[in-house]
């Protein structure tokens, strides 16, 4: 009824009826749930003949702005973020929102297809190639299109990562907006001395767009807790951005890390953790974390230990896994240089 009156060509611009409709319009539209639609970023055709497209799912409220972008699976073996966005998408369908939420559930579909961190076609980590190159490798072409058609449109940006195929992780990068990052309620926050170059976040940071990179879950264990918490705390971030109504829940006490040691073994084989080390656990002094064992002779090739006097587990492997030399095996934060917020 309202739509007919608005769009009907028979209504003259100065008619009394139209003025009445315009007056009631904001009230009516405030009661509408988010409209949902899909857009495609189109790249070329693959050698297989299939078209390469990257979908964007858009939930739009009463006004199109602000636009909050949330992406996942920029690394193809990090599937928890996709699960979080699936739940969030169905939740947004039932909500009234201000502005828009633009979800990109799979930033790198080629890597997701093979469940690999890097793009199988050119072996590149797309998250080191942004803002990309329209005439470069396929990862660079994708990064260029995503930068132009997605990242450059956003007013807020959240990128969800995970530990990958085997490790479990739990922290959040505090980059250019502390309140936005803290609204995710991660117990561990991290501000690196040097931010990673070539990431999706590097594009939005350059534009001074509030940007948060979340690291949550990973490994093919049950992730129900992480998915539930991810959805709930991203809703808190959407309240901070003014997209969802209601008060922002205050964060708990959080530890801001300045130094994290990425522990990569020198030898490949089977990695036997001493026991599960949940992210967030404090470990004092030198503590043995794991043994790397040869699968050919069963001899121990290497012992991995905590690197600091006061350690906190950031990423861990909680069951026996295959490791290659240089793999992310543990990440340990230094509590001596950390700050309690």
Binding site for Zn ion (CB under 5 A): 75, 78, 161
Q: Name the residue nearer to Zn ion (CB basis): 66 or 109.
A: 109
Q: How far apart are CA 327 and CA 308, in angstroms?
A: 20
Beta carbon of residue 117, minimum distance to Zn ion (angstroms, whole number): 7
Beta carbon of residue 71, minimum distance to Zn ion (angstroms, whole number): 11
Beta carbon of residue 78, minimum distance to Zn ion (angstroms, whole number): 5
Q: Name the residue nearer to Zn ion (CB basis): 78 or 140.
A: 78
Beta carbon of residue 56, minimum distance to Zn ion (angstroms, whole number): 19
Q: Name the residue nearer to Zn ion (CB basis): 161 or 233.
A: 161
Beta carbon of residue 167, minimum distance to Zn ion (angstroms, whole number): 11
Q: Name the residue nearer to Zn ion (CB basis): 78 or 302.
A: 78
Beta carbon of residue 159, minimum distance to Zn ion (angstroms, whole number): 8
Q: Name the residue nearer to Zn ion (CB basis): 125 or 259.
A: 125
Q: Name the residue nearer to Zn ion (CB basis): 77 or 302.
A: 77
In the bound complex, which residue of the shown chain has the CB atom lying closest to Zn ion?
161
């Amino acid at each position: 009824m309202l739509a007919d009156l608005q769009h009907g060509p028979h209504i003259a611009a100065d008619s009394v009826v139209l003025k009445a409709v315009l007056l009631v319009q904001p009230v009516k539209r405030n009661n509408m749930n988010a409209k949902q639609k899909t857009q495609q970023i189109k790249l070329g055709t693959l050698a297989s003949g299939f078209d390469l497209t990257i979908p964007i799912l858009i939930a739009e409220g009463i006004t199109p702005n602000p636009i909050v972008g949330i992406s996942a699976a920029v690394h193809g073996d990090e599937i928890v973020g996709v699960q979080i966005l699936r739940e969030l998408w169905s939740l947004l369908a039932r909500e009234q929102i201000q502005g828009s939420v633009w979800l990109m559930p799979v930033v790198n579909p080629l890597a997701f297809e093979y469940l690999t961190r890097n793009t199988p076609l050119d072996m590149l980590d797309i998250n080191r190639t942004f803002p990309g190159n329209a005439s470069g490798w396929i990862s660079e072409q994708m990064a260029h299109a995503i930068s132009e058609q997605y990242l450059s449109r956003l007013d807020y940006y959240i990128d969800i990562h995970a530990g990958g195929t085997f490790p479990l992780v739990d922290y959040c990068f505090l980059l250019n907006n502390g309140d936005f990052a803290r609204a995710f309620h991660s117990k561990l926050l991290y501000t690196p001395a040097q931010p990673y170059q070539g990431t999706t976040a590097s594009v939005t940071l350059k534009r001074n767009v509030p940007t948060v990179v979340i690291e949550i879950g990973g490994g093919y264990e049950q992730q129900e807790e992480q998915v539930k918490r991810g959805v709930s705390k991203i809703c808190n971030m959407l309240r901070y951005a003014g997209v969802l109504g209601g008060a922002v829940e205050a964060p708990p006490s959080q530890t801001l890390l300045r130094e994290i040691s990425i522990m990569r073994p020198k030898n490949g084989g089977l990695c036997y953790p001493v026991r599960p080390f949940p992210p967030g656990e404090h470990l004092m002094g030198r503590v043995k974390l794991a043994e790397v064992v040869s699968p050919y002779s069963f001899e121990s090739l290497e012992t991995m230990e905590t690197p600091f006097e006061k350690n906190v587990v950031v990423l861990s492997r909680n069951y026996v896994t295959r490791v290659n030399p240089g793999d992310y095996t543990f990440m340990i934060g230094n509590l001596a240089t950390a700050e309690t917020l």
